[in-house]
């Protein structure tokens, strides 16, 4: 009698996306604080560094010229021009992490998430939103990092992004004051995905 197979632990590509003001950066930091064996991809961007941000931790900050050189060399899995600035996912970070067997967690905008799904069909796409639009607006206003016109554009874009919800695998609401609960839900999703039958190899 043959022994039952043990579920394999193939590395996952987990894409966290969603609307502006949903608290995606805070969710990422909450996950990082757990000390789990995930590789968190540091996105490259051409936008200016904010006072509370650390280069190489929050983002890799480069000039527009440097970013365009990265595009020309094929160093990015996906990239986009977002609110007049480039953002992109460095290819080597993803491939190196997956080769080491680590799950890869990426934070990208909705457009980038849909692009990544084409390159990684088995990627796990998680849409993060605030509990309601007014809460998202309040979070953006409290950040005080953008001009009024830029804030208005982000809120308009958020409404359009929400229409792409059906293209994602999971929807997680990041409720006010429940950041750790949000992190718990995302970790539970990752754990469940590792036990999904369709991901297991060799099943007849």
Give the pLDDT confidence of 50-105 residue by residue, as tens digits.
898 999 988 999 999 999 999 999 999 999 887 789 999 999 999 999 999 999 99
Confidence band of 21 (pLDDT split at 50, 70, 90): confident
> What tens digit of pLDDT does each residue of 161-185 get?
888 899 999 999 999 899 999 999 9
C-alpha–C-alpha distance, residues 48 and 104, integer Å: 26
Is 130 within 8 Å of 173 (Cβ atoms)? yes
Largest CA distance in the chain: 69
Pick the CATH number of 13-197 from 3.30.950.10, 3.60.110.10, 3.40.50.300, 3.30.413.10: 3.40.50.300
Distance CA 25, CA 164 (A): 20
Per the annotation, the verdict on 152 as an active-site residue is no
Would you place residue 38 in the very low, low, confident or very high pLDDT band (cuts 50, 70, 90)?
very high
Cα separation of 78 and 111, whole Å? 10
- Give the number of other Cβ atoms within 10 Å of residue 4's Cβ: 6
Catalytic residue among 50, 152, 181, 196: 50
Q: Which residues pair with 61 in a beta bridge?
A: 45
Given 47, 143, 175, 199, the catalytic residue: 143
Instruction: Check if 50 is active-site.
Output: yes
Token readout for 32 is: 């990082």
Domain boundaries, the chain: 13-197
Distance CA 174, CA 183 (A): 9
């Amino acid at each position: 009698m043959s022994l039952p197979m043990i579920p394999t632990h193939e590395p996952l590509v987990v894409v966290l996306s969603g609307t502006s003001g949903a608290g995606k950066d805070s969710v990422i930091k909450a996950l990082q604080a757990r000390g789990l064996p995930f590789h968190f991809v540091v996105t490259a961007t051409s936008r200016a560094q904010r006072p509370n941000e650390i280069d190489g931790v929050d983002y890799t900050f480069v000039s527009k010229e440097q970013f365009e050189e990265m595009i020309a060399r094929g160093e990015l899995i996906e990239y986009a021009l977002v609110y007049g600035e480039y953002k992109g996912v460095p290819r080597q970070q993803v491939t190196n992490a997956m080769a080491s067997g680590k799950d890869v967690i990426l934070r990208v905008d909705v457009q980038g998430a849909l692009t990544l799904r084409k390159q990684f069909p088995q990627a796990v796409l998680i849409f993060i939103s605030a509990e309601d639009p007014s809460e998202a607006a309040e979070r953006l206003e409290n950040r005080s990092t953008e001009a009024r016109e830029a804030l208005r554009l982000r809120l308009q874009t958020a409404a359009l992004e929400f229409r792409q919800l059906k293209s994602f695998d999971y929807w997680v609401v990041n409720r006010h004051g429940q950041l750790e609960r949000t992190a718990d839900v995302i970790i539970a999703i990752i754990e469940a995905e590792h036990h999904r039958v369709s991901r297991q190899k060799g099943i007849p």
